[in-house]
């Protein structure tokens, strides 16, 4: 490959004038891109080629590569570049890419970070990881195969995550005799599809990663191609970060810097716009305003800082500002809301539980969130909208979500930082989903809390008691209803105002539309929680007797109430005992298969880890248990 010399003639400069070379290199910009497409389209080979042509492969690595190619390569006696990038043992064994690999190379004009993304559908979350930080995507197509399902899927994902620059690389042109007709047909095919999913423009080029055609220079094999070779294109496309600088100033606060009483600065990465000392700014969500006095760095103070820089800024006044707040230009602040519509990509084996509380992290804000039943999911192969009850692994759907407190946001189309979020499972801590906010729901903006003069204190005060929610949880037949009933009788004798919400009773009315699937059980508990909370607001001592098998939902109700008002009572009866009692004959039905999703049989029960009260029904009778509970919750004023 003699043509590489023209692009990588840097060598001569390095040898003759290292200072001049360093000066050039220092001023290079950075382009991050991904390669995606179907399995065997030659993604890894193309990256290997780029590294090889830009001399990022050293002699010792080349020797190892040659040896490996002969041993496990898929290219006969020739060098298998894919082996350079497939770094995990399992990948080399199976000859597939499982996780994103990041590779680095530079030309005279730019430095590049390329993420090689897996093609298999089961590793979509890894592909998404690579795409989320990319400025550009190279969509690989095997010239012999044309646009495949995986091409469509990846194009859809790249467009969804907001990659503006897409290169359609029609690869393996050497295997179709460099036919212009084949190339034109593929481009026409892809154009039709691209328009369908909203990709406005892309750049197509015929290449051979294996032979090196149109990679660094235009190939003689494709005289009909009049565009730029791949590298030249990569060197000249505009960067997203530069575009971000033209938007209004936003700085999500990561950390408050307080070394001593005389200094208070706010540290973070500027997500858009620019800032100068003297600028009027507003802190969200509070809306308080101030003026920037200085931008501090270890080296010296800055006259201006722009999107993409990590800085520390100081204010003229003592304005309240902490992690999670967003500092914005005063006259164009972002919105604040707690209900949204978003596109969500599900990334966990455990599907979305509608109504369950997850952590949502957006910028530097982390809040509790619940997701509604999806409006639809997208079949990325056909672009059809499908009705769905939940989101399974790799599903992409649109749903509404509600956070437990307002967050500062912008639509994802305007800001990746203030519109992109991840969902985290509260128990496993796994990142289960990623989402892109569309807009806030108007009902969140228009429905305000109406302040009432008689509050919960007054309600409870009049009853001469403190509101409580006594939450009984345990297996079916453990004795929850019986014990709760005994407790209520005692409290009634003590002139306490109480109300017992019983699982079976509520299902006759309020929740009669709900079944026993996991999703319905979650909604059942959510509604009961809301009702219990209203009753506690009214000053009552509420007793609830529900199996409430999932920890997260019990914790969700706990979070709705003031501290110490929620008392979790674990009626601890082993399954064998509850099943032996089988008061309602339900275990028998469940064992016979006549009753699905029965807790303890084919649906799990998660016992409380730290219940306020635990009663062991093997050691005490229902009356003893009730007496014990009443003693524990005294005094009630």
Active site positions, annotated: 548
Which of helix, strand or coil describes residue 400?
strand
Please identify, using beta-carbon distances, which residue of 35 and 417 lies nearer to another protein: 417
Give the binding range for another protein (CB under 8 A) out of 127-135, 505-513, 517-525, 628-636: 127-135
How does DSSP classify residue 174?
G
Size of the site for another protein (CB under 8 A): 83
CB of 357 to another protein, least distance (A): 14
**Following DSSP, what letter does each residue of 318-356 receive, concatenated?**
-----TT-EEEETTSPPEEEEEEEEEEEE-SSSPP-TT-
Q: Provide, rounded to whole angstroms, the least separation between the CB of residue 384 and another protein.
A: 25
From 52, 340, 421, 471, residue interacting with another protein (rule: CB under 8 A): 421
Residues 6+ apart with CB under 8 A from 67: none
Q: Which is nearer to another protein, 224 or 255 (CB)?
A: 255
Minimum distance from residue 200 beta carbon to another protein (Å): 22
Name the token pair of 311.
């800085």
CB 418 within 8 A of CB 410: yes
Q: Which of 319, 315, 292 is nearest to 304 (CA)?
A: 292
Alpha-carbon span 155 to 159, nearest angstrom: 6
Residue 82 Cα to chain centre, angstroms: 30
- Beta-carbon contacts of 232 under 8 Å, excluding residues fewer than 6 positions away, are none
Question: Nearest approach, Cβ of 124 to another protein (angstroms)?
Answer: 9
Structure tokens at 315: 């204010």
Nearest of 193, 57, 41, 49 to residue 118 by alpha carbon: 41
CA–CA gap between residue 248 and residue 328 (Å, rounded): 7
Q: Output phi, psi for 158, to 5 deg.
A: -65, -40
- The string of DSSP letters for 200-260 reads ---EEEE-BTTTTBTTSS--TT-TT--S--HHHHHHHSPPHHHHHTTSPPEEE--EEEEEE
According to CB under 8 A, which residues from 329 to 348 bind another protein?
Answer: 347
Which residues in 348-367 contact another protein (CB under 8 A)?
359, 361-364
What residues between 573 and 592 interact with another protein by CB under 8 A? none
Binding track over 90-109 against another protein, x by CB under 8 A: x-x-----xxxxxxx-x---
Segment interacting with another protein (CB under 8 A) among 206-214, 423-431, 461-469, 571-579: 423-431
Token pair recorded at residue 167: 């290169």
Contact stretch for another protein (CB under 8 A) within 258-266, 550-558, 584-592, 610-618:
258-266
Residues 188-207 that bind another protein (CB under 8 A): none
Q: Give least dist CB 407 to another protein, A.
A: 13
The H-or-E segment that residue 503 falls in is: helix 503-506
Window 18 to 47, contacts with another protein (CB under 8 A): 18-19, 21-22, 25-30
Q: How far apart are CA 77 and CA 69, in angstroms?
A: 7
325 scored as a contact of another protein (CB under 8 A): no
- CB closer to another protein, 25 vs 211: 25
Contacts of 242 (CB under 8 A, 6+ apart): none
Q: What's the closest the beta carbon of residue 157 comes to another protein, in angstroms?
A: 12
Q: How far is the CB of 202 from another protein (least distance, A)?
A: 23
Contact 173, 207 (CB under 8 A): yes
Angle ∠(188,189,192) on CA atoms, nearest 5? 85
Residue in 191, 267, 485, 490 binding another protein, rule: CB under 8 A: 267
Q: Among residues 241 and 575, whose Cβ is nearest to another protein? A: 241
Binding another protein by CB under 8 A: which of 9, 195, 258, 375? 258
DSSP one-letter code for 599: B
Q: Which is nearer to another protein, 195 or 276 (CB)?
A: 276
74 near another protein (CB under 8 A): no
Interaction mask 130-169, another protein, x per CB under 8 A: --xx------------------------------------
Q: Which of residues 424-453 bind another protein (CB under 8 A)?
A: 424, 429-431, 434
Nearer to another protein, 365 or 478 (CB): 365
Q: How far is the CB of 288 from another protein (least distance, A)?
A: 21
Q: Which of 148, 239, 510, 633 binds another protein (CB under 8 A)?
A: 239
Q: How far is the CB of 392 from another protein (least distance, A)?
A: 16
Tell me if 57 sits within 8 A of 71, measured CB to CB.
no
Nearer to another protein, 31 or 399 (CB): 31
Report d(CA 296, CA 305) in Å as an integer.
10
Contacts 24+ apart (CB under 8 A), 101-108: 103/47, 103/50, 103/51, 103/56, 104/56, 105/50, 105/51, 105/54, 105/56, 106/25, 106/28, 106/54, 107/7, 107/8, 107/54, 107/231, 107/234, 107/235, 108/7, 108/8, 108/9, 108/10, 108/24
Q: Is 257 in the site for another protein (CB under 8 A)?
A: yes
The residue (of 82 and 625) whose beta carbon lies closer to another protein is 82
For another protein, the binding residues in 53-72 under the rule CB under 8 A are 58-61, 68
Give 209 or 435: the residue with its C-beta nearer to another protein: 435
Smallest separation (angstroms) from another protein to the CB of 426: 8
Q: Is 538 in the site for another protein (CB under 8 A)?
A: no
Query: According to CB under 8 A, which one of 148, 241, 414, 552 is a site residue for another protein?
Result: 241
Nearer to another protein, 16 or 443 (CB): 16
Residues 380-409 that bind another protein (CB under 8 A): none
Residue 360, classed as helix, strand or coil, is strand
């Amino acid at each position: 490959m003699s043509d590489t010399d023209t692009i990588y003639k840097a060598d001569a400069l390095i040898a003759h004038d290292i200072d001049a070379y360093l000066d050039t290199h220092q001023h290079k910009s950075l382009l991050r891109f991904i390669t995606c497409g179907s399995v065997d389209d030659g993604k890894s080979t193309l990256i290997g080629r780029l590294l090889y042509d830009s001399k990022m492969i050293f002699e010792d690595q080349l020797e190892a590569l040659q040896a490996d190619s002969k041993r496990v390569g898929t290219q006969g006696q020739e060098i298998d570049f894919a082996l350079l990038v497939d770094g995990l043992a399992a990948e080399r064994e199976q000859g597939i890419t499982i996780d994103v690999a990041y590779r680095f190379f530079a030309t005279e004009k730019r430095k590049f970070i390329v993420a090689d993304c897996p093609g298999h559908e089961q590793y979509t979350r890894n592909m998404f990881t690579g795409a989320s930080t990319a400025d550009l995507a190279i969509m690989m197509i095997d010239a012999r195969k044309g646009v495949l399902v995986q091409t469509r899927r990846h194009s859809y994902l790249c467009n969804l995550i907001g990659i503006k620059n897409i290169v359609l690389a029609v690869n393996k042109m050497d295997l179709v005799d460099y036919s212009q007709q084949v190339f034109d047909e593929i481009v026409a095919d892809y154009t039709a599809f691209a328009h369908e999913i909203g990709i406005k423009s892309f750049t197509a080029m015929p290449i051979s990663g294996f032979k090196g055609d149109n990679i660094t220079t235009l190939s003689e094999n494709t005289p009909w191609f009049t565009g730029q070779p791949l590298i030249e294109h990569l060197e000249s496309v505009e960067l997203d970060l530069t575009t971000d600088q033209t938007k209004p100033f936003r700085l999500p606060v990561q950390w408050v810097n307080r070394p001593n009483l005389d200094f208070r600065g706010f540290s973070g990465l500027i997500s858009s716009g620019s800032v100068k000392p003297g600028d009027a700014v507003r802190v969200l969500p509070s809306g308080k305003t101030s003026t920037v006095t200085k931008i501090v760095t270890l080296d010296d103070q800055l006259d201006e800082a722009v999107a993409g820089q990590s800085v520390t800024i100081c204010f003229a006044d003592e304005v309240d500002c902490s992690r999670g707040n967003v500092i914005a230009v005063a006259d164009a602040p972002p919105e604040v809301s707690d209900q949204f519509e978003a596109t969500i990509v599900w990334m966990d084996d455990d599907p979305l539980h509608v109504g369950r509380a997850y952590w949502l992290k957006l910028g530097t804000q982390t809040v509790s969130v619940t997701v509604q039943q999806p409006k639809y999911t997208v079949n990325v192969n056909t672009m059809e909208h499908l009705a769905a009850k939940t989101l399974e692994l790799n599903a992409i759907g649109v749903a509404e979500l509600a956070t437990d407190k307002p967050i500062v946001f912008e639509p994802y189309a305007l800001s990746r930082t203030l519109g992109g979020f991840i969902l985290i499972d509260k128990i496993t801590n796994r990142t289960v989903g990623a989402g892109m906010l569309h807009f806030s729901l108007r009902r969140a903006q228009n429905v305000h809390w109406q302040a009432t003069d008689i509050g919960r204190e007054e309600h409870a005060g009049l009853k001469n008691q403190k509101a409580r929610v006594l939450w009984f949880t345990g297996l079916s037949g453990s004795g929850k209803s019986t014990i709760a009933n005994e407790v209520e009788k005692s409290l009634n004798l003590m002139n306490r105002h109480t109300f017992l919400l019983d699982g079976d009773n509520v299902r006759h009315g309020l929740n009669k539309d709900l079944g026993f699937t996991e999703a319905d059980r979650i909604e059942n508990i959510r509604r009961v929680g809301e009702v219990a909370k209203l009753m506690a607001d009214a000053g009552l001592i509420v007793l609830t007797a529900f199996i409430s098998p999932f920890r997260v939902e019990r914790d969700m109700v706990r979070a709705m109430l003031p501290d110490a008002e929620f008392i979790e009572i674990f009626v601890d009866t082993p399954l064998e005992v509850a099943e032996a009692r089988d008061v309602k004959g339900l275990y028998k039905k469940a064992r016979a298969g006549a009753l699905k999703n029965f807790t303890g049989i084919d649906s799990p029960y998660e016992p409380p880890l730290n219940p306020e009260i635990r009663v062991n029904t093997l050691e005490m009778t229902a009356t003893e248990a009730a007496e014990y509970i009443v003693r524990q919750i005294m005094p009630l004023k």
